[in-house]
Structure 1
């Protein structure tokens, strides 16, 4: 009797010398077909959805659940499995609960609201670059610019004291590290939740003009949400609000430094060209490299393949964003490409709430940095840069630069 072939392991390991491209193992799976069975860290299996059109359909299908409490949900690691009940937010809820919870925050992340924040973001960018220039080269772009910029912005928006950034950045790093032990991840998650619970409670007594104050007075004080529920939603916004954009700033800068003609286009381009370049960098890099995790609630056909109720599903956005049926010459960085159809922010009802904020930060960060330091260069060979293969959000741990 012939044994069934073993499903290849889902991996985020990049090929040597190709840190900006998806892992070659999963790229080959896309070439072989729209769906592939892959094995996960705990020996379970999931359907890997590789193509753009199928991912859009899956992410919009109500028969595909985002609820991480369901049996068979494909957690990204042992730490993720241990904390999934503790980490329940609107991100891992289905309709109508998801829409009801998410709607409470949409007004804080509209295009209009983000446009109003741009002058403040611009001032923060300038102040950080002033400090970098004064300190002189070499510098770590992550600690000097990429990480403090979105941290300062999300702190102001939420009403979190920035002087506590050392604490919440360390806790966040443990939470998003797939190598964290379940105990360490639970401890970090609980410490951050406790910290935000205390903040929400304080703002219920003395509210200010910030998102946590509105959460405290409109949700907690009215009984719509418990203090713990408010804190967990706040934790999601705080962690996602600085981890993702920080890594896009640093990784995008690294990619541009390796593509001088594309860097020049961003440095010298007007607002429209820069906005387009940001979309292309989001497509090309796709830092959400663990895929969007789901579970089928009914039998469903995806890309011609029958997926049974209870099966785990992973939508690999990094593969969708390199789909040649959607993006011509997809492995080439082209900042003048019309890349608006990318799935870096997902699709459907769970599309990233903070995408307007991320765009505003990136559209200001890249050109201002490159114009301030026209001689910006890597201070270390590319193969010595520590990339974040094992983190839930891809990027670099540090980016030494000089000018």
Structure 2
């Protein structure tokens, strides 16, 4: 289907009386909103009331979620996307064509052209080769933390530095610029950021990455930006855009998973004890934590390009669809006793990184970072504990990626 053939955003009709807004109230820090499970049990696809008055669809069942994410009839194009929750900062980027290099907002063939030069960089084999360097970064941050007096914020002292250092080295971004790009990343993902502030944050990040990309044309290095310049497939603007995407998502998401995962382990002492007894459990533990916590808490937006029948419903071309990954990863039809954290569980098929051609490009890097970080953290600090009552840990429900703003710990 050509761009000219695409459906445009349909006019906003009166909302369907059976449609309800996306549930966002959580029963506890680790479980998705209770209403998501109620929807999935009775209707794994149901009408969803969007903040702009549009009536679309919410998918909560695992099988239907995989089907949508793998079906080329469902577009990821930003020009058709609607945010399922009120998010002024997303307004400049939805309803318009994708920014250069932002493959998550593109369909083939544009998506294929941007992603292909990057795919070889993030293979499991390449990420395995990075493991010694990740181990070194983790050890350095833990040593610095041990040299200080408790309590400490695990986000500030460990999770964010490890993930920021790793993605900076991989891309070729100076770590000394972290204060600026972490500030602007937070603005992009904040639900409370204004459209103006988010657009300015994107402009600053894009300008920063364009300058780095131009510098690689005369001073190449052993990094992803240099590799993309040498490949020659993408323009400077596209390389910079892909760089912004990888930099922002590459440290925010894994930092959230590390900090929230630590919170979950400290809150489930029997599971933490099992991990301490058997460090070889780490690989499987990471997959279970990814499934159980699923930080993409508002779901993945898609739009049918043609009329599609799904789960007994007729979805019209141009109607918005939100795929709830957190609900799908708690589907009892896929995972037995899904609301229980079980580090020994077989988690094959979880959707924490999405599915299909848009599955997270950095998933293998995130896995290596978490597989190294969790065992190392509890080896260095076997008596690590929360420094505040669990209910006082500030949750990041106001961000596009769920997690904690801070995790005060002691030892």
Q: CA RMSD in A?
A: 1.4
Q: Does 1:45 align with 2:58?
A: no
Name the structure 2 match of 1:183: 196
Map 1:167-246 → 2, pairs under 5 A = 167-219=180-232, 224-246=233-255
Name the structure 2 match of 1:20: 30
Listed one character per residue, the Cα deviations across residues 270-321 of structure 1 (whole Å, up to 9, x for unaligned) are: 33x2111100000000001111101011111111111111110111000000
Map 1:130-141 → 2, pairs under 5 A = 130-141=143-154
Task: Check whether the contact 2:26–2:33 (CA below 8 A) recurs between aligned residues.
Answer: yes
Whole-Å Cα distance in 2 between the matches of residues 12 and 110 of structure 1?
Answer: 34
Q: Does 1:344 align with 2:356?
A: no
Whole-Å Cα distance in 1 between the matches of residues 397 and 53 of structure 2?
Answer: 20
Whole-Å Cα distance in 2 between the matches of residues 135 and 337 of structure 1?
Answer: 36
Task: Check whether the contact 1:74–1:294 (CA below 8 A) recurs between aligned residues.
Answer: no
Q: Compared with structure 1, are the counterparts of its residues 394 and 87 closer, same or farther at alpha carbon in structure 2 (3 Å cutoff)?
A: farther
Name the structure 2 match of 1:66: 76
TM superposition shift of 1:95: 1.6
Task: Check whether the contact 1:267–1:368 (CA below 8 A) recurs between aligned residues.
Answer: no
Q: Quick one: which of 277, 281, 289 aligns to 1:268?
A: 277
Task: Check whether the contact 1:75–1:81 (CA below 8 A) recurs between aligned residues.
Answer: no
Return 284-293 or 30-39, whichever deviates more.
Answer: 30-39
TM-score (structure 2 length as normaliser): 0.93
Listed one character per residue, the Cα deviations across residues 23-50 of structure 1 (whole Å, up to 9, x for unaligned) are: 1222221122111112122222320001
List alignment gaps of at least 5 residues for structure 2: 1-14
3-state SS in 2 of match to 1:323: coil
Whole-Å Cα distance in 1 between the matches of residues 184 and 82 of structure 2?
Answer: 24
Q: Quick one: which of 295, 299, 304 aligns to 1:291?
A: 299
Map 1:81-160 → 2, pairs under 5 A = 81-84=91-94, 85=96, 87=99, 89-160=102-173
Task: Check whether the contact 2:301–2:322 (CA below 8 A) recurs between aligned residues.
Answer: yes
Task: Check whether the contact 1:300–1:309 (CA below 8 A) recurs between aligned residues.
Answer: yes
Q: How many residues align?
A: 393
TM superposition shift of 1:83: 2.6
List alignment gaps of at least 5 residues for structure 1: none
